[in-house]
Amino acid sequence: MSNLVRITVNQKEIEAQSGANLLQTLLDNGIETPHFCYHEALGPDGNCRMCMVEIEGQKRPQIACDTFVEDNMVISTKSDNIMAVKRSILELELINHPVDCPICDQAGECKLQEYYMEVGLYDSRLETPKVTHKKHIDLGSNVMLDQERCVLCERCARFTTSYTKTNELGIVGRGDHAKISTMPGKKLNNPYAMNVVDICPVGALTSKDFRFKQRVWFMTATPSICQSCAKGCNIYIDHNTLKYGTPVIHRYRPRKNLAVNGHFICDEGRLSFKEQNEDDFRGTYSRNLNINFKKAISKMQKLLKSESNHTLIVLSPSLLNEQIASVIQFSKIIGANVFCPLERYTDENFGDDILRSNDRASNRWTINALKIETDYNKFIDSLDSARLVINFNHKLLLNPERELSNKLTNKINVHFSEVECENRQDSEISFAYAPFSYVSGSTVNENGHLQQLNAALVPTEKKPDLLELIHIVSEKKVSHTNEQIWQNEMRDLEVFKNINFSKIPLGGLAFGESNV
Ligand code: SF4
Ligand code: SF4
Ligand code: FES
């Protein structure tokens, strides 16, 4: 039951939930309050003391992360007294810290650096040598540890205790010799391990994959959705284009969405950005020959005319909603049946009870909601009578097993795909198109949560937007921008007809079962 009270922070009154965590309340209200050990997903631990605030009526400063909101509290986060406390805590943190910011990957997003610049003592009073620890320790699972940079906040260890329940990390030793370490005989080895890199407030834990590759201030963060399984975790795509260089995605990071993935993502999804950077398959082909775009389009349009009423379409259940709507409209124009067999999109070894789903089709919900035929046997029956088979990035046809491959040998095969078809020599025409990081659109996750993706990079002539390709192939009978697709083709689809694309919030929209 909601129980709102009023508290005063730095002479300003705010409304807060009675009994709520004071630090989280301050952060939610945009009141910058330095902290190392508290994390919204892990709760308070009270070990770093950086979140000290003054509360009227209390003799000593209190840690905000372990204080509950009460009516009429009067708090100061910036009084001279509090600043002096923070300064001395930072001095303690930095006694043995190597201060190697210029070569540290965390620079630019390091809490220790930020707080020090705000309230640091600046002049070192240290006269004794620093205690040294080990640097670049390979913890496993793509994570490197620099023990000297650690502020012993224990977030990483608490993550393995409370989130993954794998208990790989802990603090060993006492006093100056305390350090974070893997437990004897253990490696940091779980499918979510790389999240410790994000939650580490300093540069003690870095990603083997990302370290020394890019300065964070040179990158742009674009909000998007992971497409590696049906969970639809919210991510940031960190990318940039250096002068005279090609656009590059450097990493995916989790984006907080309590309705979907909380604060974290799995390592496989996190590292899937590498596929988006692959650029070997681009342009248009006829069998193994690279042909020019105009020739490919004219060949395709001739095929559509000659094989009219003998055409079958297969689409991937990982296409975006707008791409699915575009393919459906295209199928109506050319009079083709549409299939989406789902077998190849289930991976019994992937799912768990944390985030990962066995369903590797990122948009299966929409396929089911639109009642697209998913039965493999029905697809095979229709295949027998088809002459032209158009595949929109379905794994089954890009990499067919022998029986299906034999059936496809007698057909005219056309592929629109993000990746190369395994037997391109059997493909009459192949069109490469841009993967999801290059386009805007939407998907619906396995729980019926509609979410928007934003384009981080720009499609190229050799890797165009699929919507644009279908628009051209259909002789402009199908719309070619998201906005137009939502105004036209999506209006014809019952489940989407009342949704306004521009109003889908950043955190997505719950569809609910009733709309299926
Ligand atoms: S390695 Fe990072 S997250 Fe772990 S205790 Fe040290 S500072 Fe905290
Ligand atoms: S759980 Fe699924 S959606 Fe989430 S990051 Fe992993 S692969 Fe991507
Ligand atoms: S954040 Fe409160 S003690 Fe660390």
Is the C-beta atom of 257 inside 6 A of ligand 2? no
Contact of 372 with 237, CB cutoff 8 Å: no
- pLDDT of 514 > 80? The answer is no
Q: For tokens 């997003």, what's the residue?
A: 109
- pLDDT of 372 > 60? The answer is yes
User: For residue 335, what pLDDT is reported?
Assistant: 94
Could you state, in order of their start, the residue ranges of all structural domains in the chain? 4-94, 125-207, 284-436+462-503
| DSSP codes, 335-387 | T-EEE---GGGB-TTT--SSS--SB--TTHHHHHHTT-B--HHHHHHHHHH-S
Domains 125-207 and 284-436+462-503 share a fold: no
pLDDT in tens, 14-46: 999 999 999 999 999 999 999 999 999 999 999
Alpha helices in 64-154 (DSSP H): 80-94, 111-119
The CATH code for residues 284-436+462-503 is 3.40.50.740
Is the C-beta atom of 226 inside 6 A of ligand 2? yes
CA 39 to ligand 3 centroid distance, Å: 9
- pLDDT of 404 > 60? The answer is yes
CA 233 to ligand 1 centroid distance, Å: 24
Is the C-beta atom of 269 inside 6 A of ligand 2? yes
User: For residue 421, what pLDDT is reported?
Assistant: 85
**Which CATH topology does 4-94 take?**
Ubiquitin-like (UB roll) (3.10.20)
Is the C-beta atom of 49 inside 6 A of ligand 3? yes
For residue 473, report the phi and psi dihedrals to the nearest 5 degrees: -60, -35
Ligand 2 atom nearest 228 alpha carbon: 7
- pLDDT of 1 > 60? The answer is no
- pLDDT of 516 > 50? The answer is no
**Which CATH topology does 125-207 take?**
Alpha-Beta Plaits (3.30.70)
pLDDT in tens, 463-503: 999 999 999 999 999 999 999 999 999 988 989 988 988 88
pLDDT in tens, 245-260: 888 999 999 999 999 9
Of the candidates 109, 98, 100, the one whose C-alpha atom is nearest the C-alpha of residue 214 is 109
CA 406 to ligand 1 centroid distance, Å: 56
User: For residue 2, what pLDDT is reported?
Assistant: 66
Is the C-beta atom of 379 inside 6 A of ligand 3? no
pLDDT in tens, 104-150: 999 999 999 999 898 877 788 888 888 899 999 999 889 999 999 99
User: For residue 512, what pLDDT is reported?
Assistant: 63
Cα separation of 153 and 35, whole Å?
9
Is 0.75 topped by the overall pTM?
yes
User: For residue 433, what pLDDT is reported?
Assistant: 97
User: For residue 459, what pLDDT is reported?
Assistant: 93
Mean pLDDT, residues 278-302? 94
User: For residue 515, what pLDDT is reported?
Assistant: 45
Q: How far is CA 218 from its chain centroid?
A: 19
Average pLDDT of every residue of the chain:
94
Cα separation of 421 and 400, whole Å?
9
CA 161 to ligand 2 centroid distance, Å: 21
Ligand 3 atom nearest 65 alpha carbon: 2
Ligand 1 atom nearest 152 alpha carbon: 5
Residue to probe by mutation, ligand 1, list 159, 172, 188, 200, most atoms within 8 Å of CB: 200
User: For residue 301, what pLDDT is reported?
Assistant: 96
Q: Is 50 exposed, middle or buried (0-12, 13-18, 19+ CB in 10 A)?
A: buried
Mean pLDDT, residues 173-181? 92
Of the candidates 204, 189, 201, the one whose C-alpha atom is nearest the C-alpha of residue 142 is 189
Element (H, E) at 224: strand 220-225
Per cent of the chain over pLDDT 70 is 99
User: For residue 30, what pLDDT is reported?
Assistant: 96
- pLDDT of 182 > 90? The answer is yes
CA 281 to ligand 2 centroid distance, Å: 25
User: For residue 141, what pLDDT is reported?
Assistant: 86
Contact of 225 with 444, CB cutoff 8 Å: no
Ligand 2 atom nearest 445 alpha carbon: 3
